[in-house]
Structure 1
Amino acid sequence: MNNIFIPFNATKRVVLFLLFFGLCISANAQQSELSVEKIMQDPSWMGTFPSNIRWGVNSENIYFDYNPEKNTSDSLYKISLKNRNEIQKAELQEKRNMVPQWGDFNKKRTKKVYTENGNLVLYDLKGKEATEILDLDSEIDDAMFLQDEDKISFVYNDNAFILNLENAQIHQLTHIRKGKKKEEKEPELSDQDAWLEKENLELLQVVNERKEKKKSAENYRKSVAEEEPFTFYLGENSLRRLQVSPNASYAAFQLVDRAENKNTEVPNYVDESGYTANLPARSKVGEASDKVELAIYNAEKDTVFIVDTSALPGITDLPDYTEDYRDKEWEKKERQVIPSGTYFSENGEKAVVNLRSADNKDRWIAEVNLETGALKVLDRQHDDAWIAGPGVGYTYWGGGTMGWLPDNEHIYFQSEETGFSHLYLLDVETGTKKALTKGNYEVFDPFLSNDKKSWYLTTSQVDAGERHFYKMPVMGGKMEQLTQMTGKNEVYLSPDEKYMAILHSSSNQPEELYLKKTNSNAEPEQLTSGESEAFASYNWREPEFIKFEAEDGAMVPARLYLPQENVKNNAAVVFVHGAGYLQNAHKWWSSYFREYMFNNMLTDLGYTVIDIDYRGSAGYGRDWRTGIYRHMGGKDLSDQVDGVKYLIENYDINPQKVGIYGGSYGGFITLMAMFTEPETFQAGAALRSVTDWAHYNHGYTSNILNEPALDPIAYRRSSPIYFAEGLEGDLLIAHGMVDTNVHFQDVVRLAQRLIELGKDDWELAVYPVESHGFVEPSSWTDEYSRILELFNESLLNK
């Protein structure tokens, strides 16, 4: 390997090179139509594929980003339903006049209100005309039709306003101001000045009379003046998520007290200035959390009250991990709670709030009494690990699936109560909860039909590695499967719900756009075909989808790439996907498309390649997701080891010829594999890897490992830097120097540790202009050339 900081033992390298050279010139030399340079070049060589799909508001055109002209970036294209055989580039004026995806329809869906360029716009669907109805001196946000659809609510300068469309009058609903109220006080006089004034008024009658008249006039003005509206002062807080009830009787907003945390800086040594410039980056796990409170404004009472969360059930519970620290006294205290979303019923008379504990181990769904602010808990979800899953949302920013049915009696939400994320209804009066979906599969992105009589939803019911689109009655019942193509069907329903634009892909074919009528029997019509000749000329493998048994009896999903018998070299490579909570052993086109192509090339060269959805991966329910709780590098790593055992037992793999590689979380697993399982893995390439979880971010890490100061055991057994003494095989470490996600500092600290341990067979390749996700083809090519060289040198001589 060339141009590296710390090389393999030179003598060993020469021997390995000669052995590898001999293999290459033999009669049975493995070859591939692919090369690292080819597959790591700019992805445009593969062709042009549609993305960012959206419909025109009148359901006449499908718009998408496309680049058949090979420009520096994609442009907006469209396909008309009247002329489906022609892909047209949208004109600039058409692009400017497009009605955006955001905004709010009236009940009859004849009008849509939205904000554009900070102004308020009303679109008439029948007349196909957009009218700018309000232009203020700063941005308008969150426009919404009220229950009286002649009125629109919007947010401007951190306050809620109501616009009457009939008379164009604007009413300010809330009066919220930054800072604190200024109290009017008489100036305080010193004892000396007070004595002088008193003496002066007693001596001079006219002066005293004038003062009394001035005071009386001021009191009279105050008594006859129009009463000022109630004003709520934010103090040191900032305002977030201001929402108006449909009847305009209430408004909800969040008060955020920002925590002051120490942020890191990432040095950029190749800044255009010629100087080293520091890039601002995140803080580290264990940071203080923002304090967030929910406030409700009652328009009739003209007052604001803060919702009290101190009585939530379980609010003072200690987490289970405290059992591992019996020598420490743990104080039972009220945990911090974050309101992550408020939802008003359609009549505006009720509201529910989604609440999360800051440690993310509890989620409460509660009804808010809009007159008193009292909470009535409707559902509590607890997880000893952490609350998550499809449609459940995020701790701080809300999101997820939640809302009201039009009957103003039922709310809907998603929960992992059964171990898989499903859709539920709950009657707020009786507390009765009903599961609309059930089974060992997950539900994604459910939404109500225009008439609110049906659900549309995507699920993995057919197979964990597939996604299909369904329709279901609003109160539950039989689901009608609307897509059939194997793989992933990402559906964009037309506004009139008559058609589905489907972005479909399979494991060996990138995304293409299809059109289908919204029923189960219609045939999909392919609208785009973007593969280049160069890309299509290679016979890309459809991996074999398998499951193998792990040491604890779990069946682990994986994708398997098998070489031809005449080129098989009895060596194996394990690819580890990144992100932790991500699915890659599926039947659609992978976001790791470069690695997919590299795995094809390795297979051409005789390697057997396995790609595992290890514990912690998405798509397999709660237990799979939380299988890494408090021990990253535990079951997620043992799944890799068990995958290797499966290959050895079933595919005649030489136990001395196994390599592993991956980026980000995959890089972390690679390090743990090389440090703690040296008898299994002889070579590894760890790319942009976390080496010490105490140095990663809070939002991701604290869910899985809690906080370093509270649960040091979890960090100690999960961080590769503590196990570096176990390195025996050949290790490549590669990292971008301006990585603002996993900082370059991670591998610098690990390098020093390896030096101090006297380890030889490792090397560090650095990329000065790259962040976490590489951009430059030259960087990708250099990195994967090194990976290929590592495997060829370290495995093929065994």
Structure 2
Amino acid sequence: MQLKQKVVAFAALLLLGSNGLLAQNDKLELSVEKIMRDPKWIGTSPSNVFWSEDGKKIYFYWNPEGNRQDSLYSVSADGRNLQKVSPQERRNLPAQRGVYNRAETKKVYEKNGDIFLYDIKSGKAQQVTNTVERESSPAFSHNEQKVVYMKDGNLFAWGIGNGQTVQLTDFKKGRKAAEEGKNAQRDWLKEQQLALLQIVRDRKTDKDAAEKQQKLDSPDRPKEIYVEDKVVNNVTLGPNERFITYQLISRPKNAKVAIVPNFVTETGYTEDINTRTKVGDAQNGYEFFVYDTQRDTAYAVLMNNVEGIYDQPAYLLQQEAKASVSPSTTDSKTKKPEPRATAIYGPYWSDNGKHAVVVARSADNKDRWILKLNPSTAELTVLDRQRDEAWINGPGISYGPGEIGWMPDGESVWFHSEESGYSHLYAVNVSSGKKKTLTSGKFEVSDVRLSDDKKNFYFTANKVHPGEKHFYRMPVNGGEMVQLTSMTGAHEVELSPDEKNLAIRYSYSNRPWELYVMNNKKGAKPKQVTNSLTDEFKLYDWREPEVITFKAEDGADVYARLYRPENPQQNGPAVIFVHGAGYLQNAHKWWSSYFREYMFHNFLADQGYTVLDIDYRGSAGYGRDVRTGIYQFMGGKDLSDHVDGAKHLVEKYNVDPKRIGIYGGSYGGFITLMAMFTEPDVFAAGAALRSVTDWAHYNHGYTSNILNTPQTDSTAYAKSSPIYYAEGLKGALLICHGMVDTNVHFQDVVRLTQRLIELGKENWELAVYPVEDHGFTEPASWTDEYKRIYKLFEENLKEKK
């Protein structure tokens, strides 16, 4: 039987070789159809890497066999014994996410809606809850004698020693009965009943007495806190268990949610998908409270006295200044300023239990505060304020609380700030307010954690080159950054529990991610664990795109990836690719998330095109000024960077200025439209994929940061939206869009289509994809889309023979 199988396998290999696909002496010839197949033809990289709790194994998801789904694999800490994990072992593993005690000998986690306590030394898990309802968000109490968790919107505590469960909060929907429906008519009727009827008076007396006795019999019952129709979030128990903090989120009642129709359904009927509001519509409101169990009272933490809370954004002040033409037109009545809406995150308690810190962000995202909280008085003290007239963001900062933690002294907190123009680490003393810079330079720091002994920081930084990510160790109070990884590219590192070894997901620009193991020492040699690439993928000599820089019109250095034909012709054609997401980096030295586009660019280069992939203004990896270079004008510097890139191709790489095309998806589709409409003499053809055509129709979270809101900054929206410039179209335009796109709605291109029709434009076409969301999933859709893109370039950028 084994011999028969070998013969069949050998015959199949010969057959594949005769088809010119896998013959070892042949080079794979690329085509759109081959590139856009199910990505498994490339090989599946390892993902979701994590260590076993005892540090003896590394677990990860992988699919070397090309199955429909990835499977869990394991390898020993030294990179040996690579094997698929059995179903039984997988089921017995503790959840990857969880919370450790300070000694990291125990871990609490949620699994399948229940809470477990795991002893790391014995490897045994104790089930804390076993209910139909879901318990979540487990953590240790400060004295580590209890496990606290959420259930049905309330906080509970389970005693590790005695197994007793205690409910710590009693949040209730609606209003307290005594507060409901207060009005003179109902109050009068109630008083009348009590005055006229003895039985009503007796029953009320009995009810009041019973409630009083219940409180005497159960003095530890938590206070009933009525939250109306608000959502309770982030309930946290303080160190001495006196204070419980929580956040209330109020959903806007008058917000209008956009609907995306789904045409291809199992039922045969069109079904509506509720998606999101549009920018400028009503948004969630946030409140922060302290429940003092000792005083049995809850009170709000207010930002009213915090420095800067009344400061209006500069663009609004400029508008007010323009509106106040003369004293006679100024309203004589002074309007009382209102504090800006904010969200408060935390608190983050010091290990000694003495101090609490919260992070606050203004709803307009112009300010971020690090604040000391006095829970007994709800008083806030400013430790750090970061103000940006564009918007707050950056590595380690993002849109929420960002990365923050306590220094070993228990008196200072570390955090990220773009104060220097790049995201770096700082520490501030919560008593003195003295701030210290821990890292500095023209690079960014991210993914920060303290070592277990609190002597060092570990983090990722792009210090060597903006397009490389390396893993570093640095003394906790600042000093030498020791670079632990050395291979050119990017490293995603997981430290072993004992911090002696590193599990590394590494990739280079033309080599997808693989798993490596390495000792946690400078100069240590990494050992490769996985080999994921298929033989077919290896048959092509994938280009190593050159990372170049060129000067923008304002003197800024712009980074880009360059793909060149083996024998570039004089005055040849070129294509510029525009990555999506806006705040994303693609001109780097690791395997791109745009791997299909990377392969397509290799294919284009084979066909004689020079391809340029630009990290334009607004991209990640280059600091605050690049990040915010698009404020109040998307389609400004981000587009001019592409125009300057086109000039660079002409001046240095012998590209014909009349034969340059442009394409991209999402934000890249938006830039493509702006290029075709406002720079028609630079770009002869463009393919706009899943593109925003009018920013007033996009979401609030992303758009309001960059353009503010349509009702407060309409000029920014008019300047930035392609639909206003459609009359400028001259070259050939291809528009592609998924009909069930819940991110950039299909309505965007429908409105633009109508605009192009009304303008009498003829040099454009629209391709729709009935089953695709924002990110395509079907190989047939990818293939169709990119065959159209290639045809567009062939017909409009190549010389006619």
The aligned counterpart of 1:386 is 391
- Please, which of 265, 272, 275 is the counterpart of residue 271 of structure 1? 265
| Counterpart code for 1:226 | K
Query: Which residue of 2 is the match for residue 149 of structure 1?
Result: 144
> 724, 744, 747: which one pairs with 2:746?
744
Partners in 2 of 1:195 and 1:372 — Cα distance? Answer: 42
- Quote the residue 1:370 is aligned against: 375
CA–CA separation in structure 2 for the residues paired with 1:630 and 1:343? 35
Q: Give the structure 1 partner of residue 42 of structure 2.
A: 46
| Residues 1:349 and 2:358 are matched in the alignment | no
1:190–1:256 CA distance, 2 compared to 1 (3 A): closer
**Partner of residue 688, structure 2:** 686
Give the corresponding residue for 1:299. Answer: 293
Residue 197 to residue 667, structure 1, CA distance change in 2 (3 Å): closer
Q: Which residue of 2 aligns with 1:247?
A: 240
3-state secondary structure, aligned to 2:783: helix
Partner Cα distance (2:193, 2:401) in 1: 65
Q: Percent identity?
A: 53
The match for 1:126 is 121
Give the 3-state SS of the residue equivalent to 1:470 in structure 2. Answer: strand
TM-score between both structures, scaled by the size of structure 1? 0.91
Structure 1 residues 280 and 220: CA distance shift in structure 2, 3 A: closer
Q: CA deviation at 1:112?
A: 1.3
Q: 1:337 to 1:128 in 2, by over 3 A?
A: same
Q: Which residue of 1 aligns with 2:581?
A: 579
Match of 1:19 in 2: none
1:71 equivalent in alignment to 2:57:
no
Compare relative contact order (CA 8 Å, sep 6+) and give the higher one, 1 or 2: 1
8 Å CA contact 2:359–2:401 kept in 1: the answer is no
SS of residue in 2 equivalent to 1:560: strand
1:602-641 equivalence runs, <5 A: 602-641=604-643
Structure 1 residue 554 and structure 2 residue 539: aligned?
no
Cα deviation code 1:347-371 (max 9, x no counterpart): 3332111111111011111111111
> Which of 600, 603, 607 lines up with 2:602 in the alignment?
600
Q: Quick one: distance in 2 between partners of 1:639 and 1:408?
A: 47
Instruction: Name the count of aligned residue pairs.
Output: 756
Deviations 1:43-93 (A, max 9, x none): 0001121111111111111111111221111111111236x3442111111
Find out whether 1:441 has 2:443 as its counterpart. yes
- C-alpha distance after superposition, 1:394-446 (max 9, x if no partner): 1xxx3420122343211111111111001111100000111111001000110
Distance 1:566 1:349 in 2: 68
Residue 753 to residue 595, structure 1, CA distance change in 2 (3 Å) = same
Q: Which residue of 1 aligns with 2:16?
A: none
- Does residue 1:317 correspond to 2:306, yes or no? no
SS at match of 1:627: coil
Distance 2:309 2:484 in 1: 43
Aligned-pair CA distance for 1:793: 0.6
Closer, same or farther in 2 for the Cα pair 1:191/1:440, shift >3 Å? closer
Aligned twin of 1:37: 33
The answer to whether the 8 Å contact 1:568/1:607 transfers is no
Name which of 103, 110, 117 aligns with 1:108.
103
Partner of 2:536: 534
Greater alpha carbon shift after TM alignment, 40-49 vs 618-627: 40-49
TM-score (norm 2): 0.91
Q: Offset of 1:216 from its aligned partner?
A: 6.7
Q: How does 1:187-586 map to 2 (within 5 A)?
A: 224-227=213-216, 229=221, 230-260=223-253, 261-322=255-316, 323-324=318-319, 326-327=322-323, 332-394=337-399, 398-565=400-567, 570-586=572-588
Q: CA deviation at 1:564?
A: 2.0
Contact kept? 2:194, 2:200, Cα under 8 Å: no
Distance 1:406 1:783, change over 3 A: same
Residues 184 and 600 of structure 1, relative CA distance in 2, 3 Å threshold: closer
Q: Which residue identity does 1:39 align to in structure 2?
A: I
Contact conserved, 2:685 with 2:733, CA < 8 A, in 1? yes
Work out which of the residue numbers 78, 81, 95 in structure 1 matches 2:77: 81
Q: What is the CA distance between 1:243 and its match in structure 2?
A: 1.2
Does 2:162 align with 1:167? yes
- Measured after TM superposition, the shift of residue 613 of structure 1 is 0.2
The 3-state SS of whatever aligns with 2:158 is: strand
Do 2:472 and 2:483's aligned partners in 1 also have CA atoms closer than 8 Å? yes
Equivalent in 84, 92, 98 of residue 93 of structure 2: 98
Instruction: Please state how far the C-alpha of 1:776 moved relative to its aligned partner.
Output: 0.8
Would the alpha carbon gap of residues 184 and 591 (structure 1) be closer, same or farther in structure 2, given more than 3 Å must change? closer
Structure 1 residue 545: deviation in Å?
1.0
Output the CA distance in 2 between the equivalents of 1:190 and 1:296. 32
1:770-789 equivalences under 5 Å are 770-789=772-791
Q: Partner amino acid for 2:247? A: Q
The alpha-carbon distance between structure 1 residues 196 and 525, as it changes in their structure 2 partners (threshold 3 A), is closer
- Structure 1 window deviating more from structure 2 (143-152 vs 677-686): it is 143-152
The alpha-carbon deviation at position 176 of structure 1 amounts to 2.2
- CA drift of 1:198 comes to 7.1
1:193: Cα distance to partner?
Answer: 11
Q: Distance in 2 between matches of 1:197 and 1:47?
A: 80
After TM superposition, the structure 1 stretch with the greater mean CA deviation from structure 2, 661-670 or 123-132, is 123-132
Task: Deviation per CA, 1:683-725: give whole Å up to 9, x if none.
Answer: 0010010000001000000000000011000000100000000
CA separation of 1:566 and 1:281: change in aligned 2, threshold 3 A: closer
Alpha-carbon offset, residue 660 of structure 1: 0.3
Q: Secondary structure at the match of 1:413?
A: strand
Give the conservation status (yes or no) of the 8 Å contact 1:289–1:358. no
**Counterpart-to-counterpart distance in 1, 2:546 and 2:72:** 37
- Greater shift after overlay, 48-57 or 583-592? 48-57
Q: Decide which of 169, 172, 177 is 1:177's aligned counterpart.
A: 172
DSSP-derived class of the 2:339 partner: coil
Give a deviation string over 1:451-473, Cα, whole Å, max 9, x none: 22221101111111000011112
Q: 1:131 to 1:190 in 2, by over 3 A?
A: closer
Matched residue, 1:16 = none
Structure 2 spans left out of the alignment, 5+ residues: 1-26, 325-329
Going from structure 1 to structure 2, the CA distance change for 1:193 and 1:556 (only over 3 Å counts) comes to closer
Mapping of residues 663-674 of structure 1, within 5 Å: 663-674=665-676
Q: 3-state DSSP class of the match of 2:524?
A: coil
CA 220–98 in structure 1, closer or farther in 2 if over 3 Å, else same: closer
- Give me the whole-angstrom Cα distance separating, in 2, the residues matched to 1:573 and 1:554: 22
Shift of 1:182: 1.7
